[in-house]
């Protein structure tokens, strides 16, 4: 049976290092299968997160040959196997063990975003009417599986470590899904500008490129939100109108 070499990031009290493992290749195999094979044979204590093994839960995020991917959706036949495959944890989050990182910051950020607040029902039966065309975009954002790969790759978090000032692409997308929901009555523009750091995003599009759900994070979520923020806070006419209205 053909084999491939995997360099997997292992940690101990002293720090971490890549360790080599030889893996037998089975047709159709994905990187997560290789990690499972290593667990079942050589290293039962190798720490990894996974649940669905079908790209639906967003648990198995890692950096494979240096790029942020889902391990369960990365086929071995898409990688050059004549050289070792490196598998390491997402680097933008604090390490816990081996491939597992501390992503709790993301949960705290989400909690800081104003929740969905439904408008009064607009139909006599106490429900809402929405046209499919009006919710297509919201549904695109709601495809998000919270794998946090976009957070991992965004330079504002990864390199500049501005976790206290910038919520990252995942949560800008989340805010966009709420803002664009036809029956939501909340208003998050002020927070986006003043607390969630939307201004820091300089549209490098790295987040969009890694999103396994193919959400067009920058064009469809971030840029329209930025425009709304600009309209509200910087457009002199809008500002004037607001002064008169209030």
Partner 1 sequence: MDFETHDYDVLVIGAGGAGLRAAIEASAAGVQVGLICKSLLGKAHTVMAEGGVAAALANVDDRDSWKVHFADTMRGGQYVNNWRMAELHAKEAPDRVRELEAWGAVFDRTADGRILQRNFGGHRYPRLAHVGDRTGLELIRTLQDEGVHRGIDVHMEFTVVSLLATDGRASGVVGYERERGRFKVFGASAVILATGGAGRAYKITSNSWEGTGDGHSLAYHAGAELLDMEFIQFHPTGMIWPPSVQGILVTEGVRGEGGILLNRDGRRFMFDDIPDAYRKQTADNEDEGWRYTQGDKNARRPPELLTRDHVARCIMREVRDGRGSPHGGVFLDIAWIKKRLANGEEHIRRKLPSMYHQFKELADIDITKEPMEVGPTTHYIMGGVRVDGDTQMSSVQGLFAAGECAAGINGANRLGGNSLSDLLVFGKRAGEHAAAFAREHRRVSIDTAAARAAADRALKPFEAGPGGGENPYAIQSALQEMMQALVGIVRNEDDMQRALQGLTALRTRVERAVVTGHREYNPGWHTSIDLGHLLTVSEAITRSAIERKESRGGHFREDFPEKDPRFAMFNVVTAKASDGSMQVRRVPLPAMPAELKQIIEDQK
Binding site for partner 1 (CB under 8 A): 26-30, 33, 39-41, 43-59, 73, 75, 96-98, 100, 103, 107, 110-111, 115-116, 118, 126-132, 135, 138-139, 142-143, 145-146, 178, 181, 183-184
- Cα–Cα distance for residue pair 47/171, rounded to 1 Å: 27
Q: Does 25 bind ligand FES (CB under 6 A)?
A: no
User: Is the Cβ of residue 100 or residue 175 nearer to ligand FES in the bound state?
Assistant: 100
Size of the site for ligand FES (CB under 6 A): 12
Q: Does 154 bind ligand SF4 (CB under 6 A)?
A: yes
Closest CA to 176 of 216, 124, 120: 216
Burial annotation 181-218 (CB, 10 A radius, 16+ → b, else e)? bebbebebbebbbeebbbebbeeeebbbebbbbebbbb
What is the smallest separation between the CB atom of 57 and ligand SF4, expressed in angstroms?
11
Of 26-85, which residues contact ligand FES (CB under 6 A)? Answer: 50-53, 55-60, 70, 72
Q: φ, ψ for residue 85 (rounded to 5)?
A: -95, 125
User: Is the Cβ of residue 32 or residue 217 nearer to ligand FES in the bound state?
Assistant: 32
Q: Which helix (H) or strand (E) holds 149?
A: helix 149-153
Strand pairing of 85-88 and 3-12?
Answer: parallel
Residues within the interface to ligand SF4 (CB under 6 A): 58, 144-150, 154, 156, 169-170, 173, 201-207, 210-213, 215, 217-218, 222
């Amino acid at each position: 049976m053909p084999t491939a070499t995997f360099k997997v990031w292992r940690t101990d009290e002293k720090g971490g290092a890549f360790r080599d493992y030889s893996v037998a290749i089975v047709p159709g195999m994905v990187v997560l299968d290789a990690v499972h094979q290593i667990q079942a044979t050589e290293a039962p204590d190798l720490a990894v997160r996974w649940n669905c093994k079908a790209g639906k839960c967003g648990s198995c995020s890692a950096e494979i040959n240096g790029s942020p991917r889902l391990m369960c959706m990365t086929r071995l036949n898409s990688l050059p196997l004549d050289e070792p495959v490196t598998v390491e944890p997402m680097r933008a989050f604090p390490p816990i063990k081996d491939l597992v990182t501390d992503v709790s910051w993301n949960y705290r950020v989400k909690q800081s975003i104003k929740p969905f607040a439904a408008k009064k029902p607009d139909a006599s039966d106490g429900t809402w009417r929405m046209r499919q065309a009006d919710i297509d975009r919201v549904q695109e954002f709601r495809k998000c599986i919270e794998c946090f790969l976009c957070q991992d790759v965004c330079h504002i978090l990864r390199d500049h470590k501005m976790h206290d000032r910038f919520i990252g692409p995942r949560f800008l997308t989340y805010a966009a899904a709420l803002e664009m929901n036809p029956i939501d009555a909340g208003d998050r523009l002020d927070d986006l500008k003043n607390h969630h750091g939307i201004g820091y995003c300089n549209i490098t599009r790295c987040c969009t490129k890694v999103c396994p759900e193919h959400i067009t994070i920058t064009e469809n979520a971030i840029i329209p939100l930025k425009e709304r923020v600009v309209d509200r806070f910087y457009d002199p006419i809008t500002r004037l109108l607001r002064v008169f209205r209030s």
